[in-house]
A and B are shown apart, each in its own frame.
Chain A
């Protein structure tokens, strides 16, 4: 086999990735040093001005911190909740397939539709949530337009959307745990609690490891649709995260330069998070 043959085989994929991922990525890196006119026909090199402007802009700092809060809450809640729901769905009870189908359903729904759905359910006038809350507790909340409820609303919708993906993986993992191990712990007298935390959870750690990264990515990037449909980043800029900020600057305000700088920053955040996680996360992962 000649040395260049393998390269020949990866060439088609590499070409496609270059056109759709590498080229745009490098281009936005390049454009982040420019001021660009609306139609892209005038450009001005501005060094690091776009970056300096961003970090001296309190709106961007707020978007930055909301991204952190939003991601942290969404990831932690959706991963742990998924683990517990998967434990329940792994029981041998009648109708479990039906429950699984119901619980997986949100995964088949597109993010924008999920946002629209929650926007409708949380609608102060005709929404189900408010109707129930008014009936049961006699309170009404303007979920979408008031602080802090708008943040709760988008976080709930994001968790609802990412949950099924995580559950599928956990269930698959649970089913691959050998029965002998479970029986051995039973014989040793371990109760459900110890069994879950000392056996099941460590055995599933590679899955948790993978899901955490995937959830971080999805809540940082795919949250755009939910936020756009539900709150449009409001009230004020309360639920504006970085990805929504990029959309506003890039597409609403036609400011390519700052938008590119923001995407570079988001890219750097992702790099740092992933690197840190790979370095420290790996220690607590057990492969069978």
Chain B
């Protein structure tokens, strides 16, 4: 009997020192795979008893689908990266450990260090559910060299919708057959931009204060503010001042800008590094500015996009603790700075930003500065905090579809807005 007890004790001791294995799934392809692996390797060096398996799983949608499958199979991953529109779904799912719960137990992490705009976005009812990690906003980039050629002032990017239209008219160039060889502007056909322009006008996307004080019951964009955006989009397309991509085709939009087919692009700040290096290769100078807004409104600001890290509930609490350590590390000052420099997603922490300022980083990288300044200038309100709604992917799809029908001449801007509202409301009603 004694022997057995000793043996059991010995096993317990060994087990408690054994290494914990956790899985981390992310959606950052390309050169960022290496970057993330490097950051995780540093983490493992500092925590030799934790082994992290990093996996690039594909898109955010694929991560969500595979997480669902893994949960049903009983082997969920520990840390998953999901985009902002999954927030509500994850909160309602009951399968996650809210980051706030871990912060309460861990005095070494101060959530006040996070950028207030970022903290606002990922907090619902004052509770932080996931760890902000790769945050971005939209930004206007423009081809300074082309501006000069077209007789525009390269230091005066357009600030309003009507300026975008008049600038674009000047940028248009046609060949002798009347075919367009150069035009004004592009942005990926994605409802994210529509949401940004609603926020800029300080208007909500869904009711119950953008779903932040209660479950949303309907969308709020079928109004004057929404119409302004749709009409802007429609006018640019009809006049040939804008080239539209297919749904969510960021690459095509970048291609149009890099090949100098268009003079301006509105895209994510996470494209900063890429656009800078490509424009150098193509031999043109690039500028960045806040996104243009509807005429006669006061600029309210932009909404965070990008992704955050979620902790999934586990049977073994030690694994959750290890996962929390990893998440905490990835949101720490130095990893955030490395991440920012490597991608263009901005640091989610105030102290990281201050450290970069002290280093003089923003003097050498003025475009990165514009990106973060636009966010810091944002006036906090429910509108600029962004919507929290379970059927977000469907709402975006409804808006995308309506826009595509409008620019194909099947619907007027007003009809398109009505259709988007109808489809979105139907989706909200069916949310389960």
Q: Which residue numbers of A lie inside 8 Å of B, CB to CB?
A: 35-42, 44, 59, 123-126, 134, 138-140, 142, 144-147, 230-238, 248, 251-255
Of the stretches B2-10, B26-34, B224-232, B404-412, the one at the interface is B404-412
Query: Closest B-chain residue to A42, C-beta based?
Result: B432
Question: Other than the known A38-B92, A253-B393, what 9 A-B pairs have Cβ atoms closer than 8 Å?
Answer: A37-B432, A39-B93, A39-B95, A134-B177, A142-B243, A144-B246, A145-B245, A234-B246, A253-B391
Interface contact A252-B68, CB-CB below 8 Å = no
Q: By the criterion CB–CB under 8 Å, are B408 and A39 in contact?
A: no
B86–chain A nearest beta-carbon distance, Å: 9
Is there a chain A Cβ closer than 8 Å to B401's Cβ?
A: yes
Q: Once bound together, how far apart are the Cα atoms of A231 and B244, in whole Å?
A: 12
Interface residues of B in 123-142 (CB under 8 A from A): none
Whole-angstrom distance from the CB of A55 to the nearest CB of chain B? 15
Q: Is B213 an interface residue (CB 8 A)?
A: no
| Residue B394 interfacial (CB < 8 Å) | yes
Are A236 and B401 within 8 A (Cβ)? Answer: yes
Instruction: Write the chain B residue with the least CB distance to A46.
Output: B432
Contact among B68, B92, B249 with A40 in the assembled complex (CB-CB below 8 Å): B68
Please tell me if the beta carbons of B65 and A251 are within 8 angstroms of each other in the complex.
yes
Contacts of A238 in B (CB 8 A): 404, 408
Contact of B61 among A40, A231, A251 (CB under 8 A): A251
* Candidates B71, B249, B259, B400; contact of A126 at CB < 8 Å: B259
Q: What separation, in Å, do the CA atoms of A147 and B179 have in the docked complex?
A: 19
Q: Closest Cβ of chain A: how far from B113's Cβ, in Å? A: 32
Q: A44-B432, A125-B255, A125-B259 are in contact. Are A234 and B247 (CB under 8 A)?
A: yes
B261 touches A125 (CB 8 A): yes
Give the shortest distance, in Å, between B429 (CB) and chain A (any CB): 11
In the complex, what residues of A have CB within 8 A of residue B432's CB? 35-37, 42, 44
In contact, A39 and B71 (Cβ under 8 angstroms): yes
| CB-based contact A138/B177 at 8 Å | yes
A/B interface sample: 24 pairs, CB < 8 A: A36-B432, A38-B64, A38-B89, A40-B68, A44-B432, A123-B252, A125-B255, A125-B256, A145-B244, A145-B245, A145-B407, A231-B246, A232-B246, A234-B246, A235-B407, A236-B404, A236-B410, A248-B397, A252-B61, A252-B393, A252-B397, A253-B394, A254-B89, A254-B393
Q: Report A254 CB to chain B, min CB distance, Å.
A: 7
Of all A-B residue pairs in the complex, the 9 with the closest CB atoms, nearest first, are A235-B404, A236-B405, A138-B177, A232-B247, A236-B404, A236-B401, A39-B93, A147-B408, A253-B394
CA–CA, A44 to B432, complex, Å? 9
- Cα-based distance from A41 to B68 in the complex (angstroms): 10
In this complex, what residue of B is CB-closest to A138? B177
Q: Which residues of B contact A251 (CB under 8 A)?
A: 61, 65
A235 touching B408, Cβ below 8 Å: yes
- Find out whether the CB atom of A39 lies under 8 angstroms from the CB atom of B246: no
How many Å lie between the Cα of A238 and that of B390 in the bound state? 26
Any A CB within 8 A of the CB of B180: yes
Q: Mark B159-181, 1 if CB is under 8 A from A, else 0.
A: 00000000000000000011110
Nearest B residue to A59 via CB reads B423
B71 to A, closest residue via Cβ: A39
Q: Give the one of B95, B255, B430 with max A CB within 10 A.
A: B430
Rounded to whole angstroms, the CA-CA distance of A206 and B250 in the bound complex is 47
Whether a CB of chain A sits under 8 angstroms from the CB of B116 is: no
Q: With contacts A35-B432, A231-B246 known, is A126 near B68, CB below 8 A?
A: no
User: In the complex, what's the smallest C-beta–C-beta distance from A79 to chain B, in angstroms?
Assistant: 29
Query: Roughly how many angstroms separate A39 CA and B178 CA in the complex, as a whole number?
Result: 54
Interface pair B408/A236, CB less than 8 Å apart? yes
Q: How far is the CB of A64 from chain B (nearest CB, A)?
A: 17
**Docked complex Cα distance between A209 and B309 (Å):** 53
> Which residues of A are found within 8 Å of B94, using beta-carbon distances?
39, 41
Chain A nearest CB: distance from B252 CB in Å? Answer: 7
Whether B248 is near chain A, meaning CB under 8 Å from some CB there, is yes
Residues of A within 8 A of B256 (CB): 125
Report the bound CA distance from A142 to B401 in whole Å: 17
| B173 CB, nearest partner CB in chain A, Å | 14
- Complex Cα distance A140/B181, Å? 10
Q: B180 to chain A: which residues have CB within 8 Å?
A: 140
The residue of chain A having its C-beta at the shortest distance from the C-beta of B432 within the complex is A35
B401 in contact with A237 (CB, 8 Å)? yes
Q: Is B282 an interface residue (CB 8 A)?
A: no
